[in-house]
Each structure stands twice: as structure tokens, then as C-alpha cells.
Chains A and B, each alone.
Chain A
Amino acid sequence: MSVNSLDLGRFKSIEFIMGAVLVGGIAFAVLFSHWLFPGGGSEVNLAMRLTPPMTEASFPFGTDPLGRDVLARVIIGGEISLKVGFYSALGAVVIGIIMGLLSGYYGGFVDMIVMRFADVQLALPFILLAITFIAVIGGGLNNMIILLIISQWVQYARLVRGSVMSLKDREFILSAKAIGVRDWRILFQHLLPNLLGPVVVLMTLNVANNILLESSLTFLGLGIDPVIPSWGGMLAEGRNYLQTAWWVSVFPGLAILLTVLGLNLLGDWLRDALDPTGRTSR
């Protein structure tokens, strides 16, 4: 990637500061969660079940139907959620970009193969794919990430392919070709930086989506062991108590919201920072 086009002065933007504080804070808390909560947030305490927040000093976010600490579970649950969200989006981006670049740039046979794969992918309903995949390969964190990558690289590939097709006939690409610049340099040094903007935006949206997908898979029993806390899982659990104990689902929901907000801010900032003309920023 074009690190040389990053201008350090651009770190002084409000998007970067807010995004970095949000994402950094959450990541920091999650990183040290086991040190903060050695019990892993799974101590059941039925006597204290459904304690509202701010009533007991030891349970600032209240407790869930089994009397477990919501704060501890939100922070520990972040680990699974962030892992799923980030790794799957990252994997999908890398595969999608490579496939999209190749198929858009070379066209012809390569394009046909990649796009037929993509069509098959888009034709399969996600849940059907998920059930089949988990049934054959088995559940667990890693398999879930692989499943999400498989189902999502197509979006990036199509986005990148479209941008490449419109960029590759532009004169600066032709002029690089005329000079004799090697294909991989044209792909990664000229095309990639010019199409990264929308990819970054799509990726920030996808992280959020993946956190929620993990929860629906877990809810269906296809994902991770429901005993291990995750944001999506907690949302699903809290659904039944929404009218009587809002805090069970609101706090993990808030965690997702803040993560996504932070990522979006960072994404906007990155898109602007990568663009030397500053067109997209005001």
C-alpha cells in the first residue's frame, strides 16, 4: 500500500481522534479482559439475577438472567466478536482485492473463472451455505471466520473489478504500461491506491455486519459454544428479557454500535488521508 502518500498532518482530524479513541479504547479493554475479569464473566449467581445497572457496586451494568456480570461479559465477549468481525473482513478484503484486480485487469479467461465463482457464491443463500459448511467441516471460531470469508470476498471482488475496469483505460495506467512497468506494479502501486477508498468504506460496514452474523449463527447453534460470551450471543439472549431487563441486550448492542462508529470514522479518515488531492474531505 502507498504509505508514502500518507500525510502525517492529516492525523489532526477530528475523525481520526474520535475513531482512534473509540476503537482503541474498546480494543484495549478487550485485550486486557482476562486480567480484569479472571472469572471470564461466567460465574453464575442466581441470587443476583437480573440486577438492574447502577444498583450494586460490583455490577455497574447489572446482571443477566443467570446473575452473571454484564460488564464483564461485554468486555470478554468483545474478544470473539472483534476476532470474527476483523479477521473475516480482513480475509475477505485481501482475497477480494486480489481476485478483483486480476479479473478486472486481465479480463478474458481469468475474469470468466473468477466471476463464475462469484455468481455461484451469490446464488447460494447464506444460511444454506452456513448449515452445509458447519455440518461438513464443523463449528468453532476458525471455521466461522473461514465461512464468512468465503461468503463475503465476492462483494469486494466485484467492487474492485468494476473500479479496475474503469481505471485501466485511464491514461496514467496506459502511460505506466507504455513505460514498461511490470503488471504487478501497475496492479499494486497504481490501481490499488486509486480504488482503495470505496473498499475501505465497505470493509468498515462489513465488520459490523459480521459481528451480527456471528450472533445469528450462534443463535442457530452453528457457531461458537454459546457458553463463551460474545456480543451477538448476548443480544440474542437478552431478546427475551427486553421488556423487563433492557440492560442485558442494550449494553452489548452499545458495544457493537460504538465499535462500528469508531471504525466508520477511521474508515472515512483513511479514505481522505489516502487521497492527496483532498477532494473527498471538505
Chain B
Amino acid sequence: MSLQPPFPLLSVNSLDIAFGSNRVVKDLSFDLYPGQTLAIVGESGSGKSMTSLAIMGLVHYLNATIAGGNILFRRSTDSAPVDLTQLTDRQMRKIRGKDISMIFQEPMTSLNPVYTVGDQITEVLLLHGDYTRATARDEALRLLRLVRLADVESLLKRYPHQLSGGMRQRVMIAMALACKPKVLVADEPTTALDVTIQAQILTIIRDLQKELGMAVIFITHDMGVVAEIADHVVVMREGEKVEEAAVEPLFEQPQKAYTRALLAAVPTLGSMKGQNLPCSEPLVIFDGADVVTRGEATVQDTVRVQEQPIVRVDNLVTRFDINKGFWGGVSHRVHAVENVSFDIYPGETLALVGESGSGKSTIGRTIQQLQESTSGEIVFSGKPVSQMSRSEKMTLRQQVQYIFQDPFASLDPRKTVGFSIAEPIHTHQLLNGRQNVSQRVNELLERVGLKPEHAKRYPHEFSGGQRQRICIARALASKPKLIIADEALSALDVSIQAQIIHLMMQLQREEGLAYLFISHDMAVVEKMSHRVAVLHLGQIVEMGPRQLVFDTPQHAYTKKLLSAVPVADPKHQRQHLLLDGDIPSPIRKVGDEPIVNPLNEVQPGHYVSHSEASAPL
């Protein structure tokens, strides 16, 4: 039986996957052709990862069952298709890793920490291919070069913990490619990585796919990544396929309301070009049947520069000692924050952007007094923290609130939501009497779009977006002047993210709040902030009004960051030249102090560091 090309390499036909009686994937069908990149995109709970596991024959490890449908896989043009759902574990093992291989989201945990990189790659080769130890080693070297890793000889002898996240993900890709698979399943392979590294990995996957002619199923939640890599897109929601189309028509003319809402919620870099102030855009919501627009565009003109800054940070330095030697001496230090200065005015949003290790969270934690600074000063309402009495420090903790990244981890699982929201009120004795406190808790819940009866429930009963709303309500409870939002939107789906951004901007207008917005996501930063500070290795390399930094970036690192952001437009061409290299480490030997580069004012309020000329980034 020989088919005329194009014939599908893999076809999923009315697939149903269930956890007990709960169907997580419903009647899903799609075809994958040779050499094609198919993106499956959807928000959390859409069943996209279950689909990928079903293709790998791994669903039963999660106690799920395939309740119906089939997955037909055709090894070559003239072989009969096999139904992957009917194979035994033993038969599946021969296909897995050889014909179909997979890369996972978390490169930190998917390599075995006690074996060297070389051992792990050669193991795959010896298992599936005709290799001797010696030829396997050569092949491993070739594979590592294939994923653009340098110095591959010594890499073979290294252990996973000695590699950076991006390098590990490349090793994972090399392992997945070891047996020249026909299909590569990539489940959110870049989600845990920084943008510049993400851009590198995407380029590698795309190039290799062309070279090797394999088909790729790319699972992601990020529309920007879809636009960048996919030929064909399947949009999923709550286990069902919403829409399927080639990538360009999908982005240009989405047919279904849900796809339109999803695309509208994606913050697009460059959307604020030419605008001087951030603008709270109307919310585009999918209400189950149609797209609804709520609210209207409001310019966020809330900064009160004539007042005294709420917080001024002066030459802040924070370092951590590590690698205690045998006699307890310090051999290395993490230079998390080096000589950082900025101030935040009432009603202002200052964004700190940077990649992992840039020290952005450390700055936030130091301001919140969760972390001791090594030197420098934080001045709060005109008074240095180091000269504050105990009760003044307590006031600081009332007026500055912190929202963490992970809404699942930042609420005590054993306390009701009401207890958590009331905690700051009790701590600072803002209200007396049970009645008053519970009334205030109810008000706060309504303020963030939840219901008063939610106060009696526990955090695990809420979704991620609702929990982040609870965290915001808790932060508002003490009537703060400044909220430090540490990657507060990163763990949320885009549609939820858009709602939370809307809420935060609304609160800023109504309560005159200032935000220190810590994020790695340039597109969200562009949407929200009045001023931006770009951090690199603990130093500010560029700082200024949002418009100047985004429209006319001066520092090489800012340009690099901006060019790495995936744009949700398949026609957008990325500039590749800027995207080499790894993220440098902030760890230095004792005595090897980093050079602190002074900032120069290039335009009023726009500061750029000198390091551009001296250090290649």
C-alpha cells in the first residue's frame, strides 16, 4: 500500500483521554505531515500536554486511559500504519525514542544528575542503534555539535548541574535526535528558559527540522512562539479542538471567537510605540460563546512627580557568600546587586527587567526588608531604613507590599482565604472588631473581582488567576503606597494575565498606588510601566521613560533583549545576529570585583551605562 505524497506521518483520529470519568481530551483529530511543524496551543487545562503524552504512549503512567479513537503512525510510505494506542508497552518502547522522541519543559529535572552528559547520550544510542562504544562517542559528539554546543569534547565528561538551563535543553534535544526520529514532540521546551535562550533554542529546533526533515509537534501556550516556529496550528480549549489552520491565516483571520480572544490577550511588543504614557486597554473576554469587550481605554496618567519619592534606592549592593571552604572561609560571592540607584514616585510603575541572575528579585526583596543589603541605602518617605526604629520599620511593612510569582505557593494552604486577607489588618491593627474586619475582607474580595463568600474557602479551591487576585486583595488590605510585584503575572495564562494587568492598572488609578514591577516579559512591561530599568548582572544598564527605552534603546543588552522577544506575527522576521552566547553568571571569586559602570544621561531622564563599549555581551 503506497500513498501519494503528501501522506500523513501521524494522524490522530477522534482521540478521547479520560481520568476516570473526567474526559480531558475530547474527540481530537489532526494530521501531521513529514517535515511539518504543528503547534498545539492552549491555556492550562486545555489537554495539550495529555495529547503529547498519548502520542508517546505514556498516558497510563499518569493513571489516565485512552477512552476512544486512535493514533495512526506510518513509519514509511509503503508500510501499513500502526495504531499507537493499541501497542503493548514492549512494542511502544521500540518506537519511543527511535521513531518518535520527546523533549520536556524542565531541563533541570529531565537529565539524570548522577551521570555525565556523554553517558546519557551514548546510552540512548547503544539502546536503539547499531553502535559500538567508540562509534557511539563519535555520534554523541556530532549530535552535540548539531545543537550548536561549543567545546563538545569536554562537555561529554560534565554533569548536568555544571551546565546552564539553555545548555541542558540543548543536550536534551541532542538526545531526542539521537536516533533520527521521524517525529519530535516538544512539550513547552522553552517555557522555563530566558527569552534570549528561548530564541536560540527555537532557532536550533527550526534549523534542525529543515536539515533532518523531521516532523515536529510543538506544544506551547505562547502565541509568540507559535508565530515564530509553526507551519500549522491546532488551538485547544478544555480538551477540545477549537480551530485548526495554517499559521498565517490563523493569525490574520482567526475564525473562532476563542482564538480571537486568545490573540487579543497576547501582549504584543511594540504596540505602545509613540505613546508616552501606559494605557489601560479594554478587556477582550471570551465568555464561552463570543468575544466581549469590557471597559474602555484609559491613559494611565497617575504619576505625581511633584511629590517626594516613596522609595529611593541609593547605591544598593547585595552579595551572598557561597562555597564555604574547609575552614569556613568564603571563596566565592554572588554579586546579585551592584551599585543600583533609582527612585519611585507616588502613582508610578517602575519596571525592573532582566534575565535570570540579573538581581531583579533581590532588589525587590531588599526593599521589602526580606534580605539584608551589603551596602547602600534605601530611603523610604525621606528616611533611611538603617536609621528607622522598630515601629517605623513596621510602618514600612504596612506601606510596602509584596506579590510573589507563584500564586500557588504564596498563600498558606492551611488557612482560609479570609484569614490570609485579614492577616495584614490584624498585624498592623488597622481595624478593631470582628465585624469590621470581615466587612473589610468582603470589600477587598469584591474589589479584586471575587465574591465575599469566597472568604471561607481554602486556596486550593481556586484557580491560578483567582489566587493571584487573592494575593492582590491581601496586599491591598494594609492600604499600601507601593506594591512590589515580583513576576506576579508570569505563572498565569495570557487571558488571565490581561485581566490582572487591567485590575492592577485600575487600582493604580483609583488608589494612587505605585508599583515596582519586576518582570522578564518585555511585552507586559511595555504595557504597564511608566519607567523602565534594564538590569544585567546586578547593574542597571539602561533606565528611562518607557517610550525612550523601548523606541530608542541605546544599550546593546536592551537591544538584545528586545530582539529576542517572540512576536505574535508569523510575518515578523527576527534579527538573528544578536542572539549568541549564554547568560553570564553573577558568581565571582572573592577579590574579583566587577567593574561598576557609571550611567550617562543621553536624554533627559534616559540613562545608559558605559559598559556597551568595553564588555561584549
Contact = CB atoms under 8 A, between A and B. Distances in A.
Contact of B397 (A2, A170, A178): A178
A172 B460 contact: no
B423 A179 contact: yes
A22 to B, nearest CB: 28
Contact of B414 (A171, A177, A179, A194): A194
A174 B397 CA distance: 12
Interface residues of B, number: 28
A276 interface: yes
B298 interface: no
A189 B415 CA distance: 9
Contacts of B478: 179
Contact of B368 (A178, A189, A190, A194): A178
A175 B404 contact: yes
Nearest to A172: B412
A172 B419 CA distance: 13
Contacts of A124: none
A243 interface: no
A180 B401 CA distance: 10
Contacts of B419: 4
Interface residues of A, number: 24
Interface in B363-410: 368, 370, 394, 397-398, 401-402, 404-406, 409-410
A179 B427 contact: yes
The 3 closest A-B pairs by CB, nearest first: A180-B397, A171-B410, A178-B402
Contacts of A190: 412, 414-415
Contact of A171 (B404, B424, B460): B404
Looking at A175, A182, A185, A274, the one whose CB has the most chain B CB atoms below 10 A away is A175
Interface in B206-255: none
A176 B370 CA distance: 11
A272 interface: no
A91 interface: no
B434 to A, nearest CB: 13
A170 B423 contact: no
A182 B426 CA distance: 11
A174 B427 contact: no
A176 B424 CA distance: 8
Contacts of B402: 174-175, 178
Contacts of B370: 174, 177-178
Contact of B404 (A174, A193, A275): A174
Given A4-B419, A276-B458, A178 B401 contact: yes
Contacts of A174: 370, 402, 404, 410
A178 B522 CA distance: 27
A181 interface: yes
Contact of B415 (A5, A178, A179): A5
Nearest to B419: A4
Contact of B428 (A170, A172, A180, A194): A180
Residues of B contacting A: mostly: loop
B478 to A, nearest CB: 7
Contacts of B437: none
Contact of A172 (B397, B401, B410, B416): B410
A174 B403 CA distance: 10
20 contacts: A2-B414, A5-B414, A5-B416, A171-B405, A171-B410, A174-B404, A174-B410, A175-B410, A176-B412, A178-B370, A178-B397, A180-B397, A180-B424, A180-B428, A181-B423, A193-B415, A194-B412, A194-B414, A274-B414, A277-B413
Contacts, number: 71
A276 B414 CA distance: 6
Contacts of B460: 276-277
Given A180-B427, A182-B427, 17 more contacts: A2-B414, A4-B419, A5-B416, A170-B409, A174-B404, A175-B410, A176-B423, A177-B370, A179-B397, A179-B427, A180-B397, A181-B427, A190-B412, A193-B414, A194-B414, A276-B413, A277-B460
Nearest to A173: B412
A68 B427 CA distance: 62
A170 B411 CA distance: 10
A114 B424 CA distance: 32
Interface in A235-282: 274-277
Looking at A4, A5, A178, the one whose CB has the most chain B CB atoms below 10 A away is A178
Interface string B462-483: 0000000001001000100000
A193 B171 CA distance: 42
B172 to A, nearest CB: 28
B183 to A, nearest CB: 36
A179 B412 contact: no
A180 B398 contact: yes
B413 A194 contact: yes
A175 B413 CA distance: 13
A85 B598 CA distance: 69
A179 B404 contact: no
Nearest to A192: B414
A249 to B, nearest CB: 44
A4 B427 CA distance: 19
A179 B397 CA distance: 5
A276 B461 CA distance: 10
Nearest to B398: A180
A274 to B, nearest CB: 7
A278 to B, nearest CB: 9
Contacts of A170: 409
Contacts of A277: 413, 458, 460
Contacts of B424: 179-180
B536 to A, nearest CB: 25
Contacts of B401: 178-179
Nearest to A274: B414
A274 B406 CA distance: 23
Interface string A66-94: 00000000000000000000000000000
A276 B370 CA distance: 29
A178 B424 CA distance: 10
B404 to A, nearest CB: 4
A174 B371 CA distance: 10
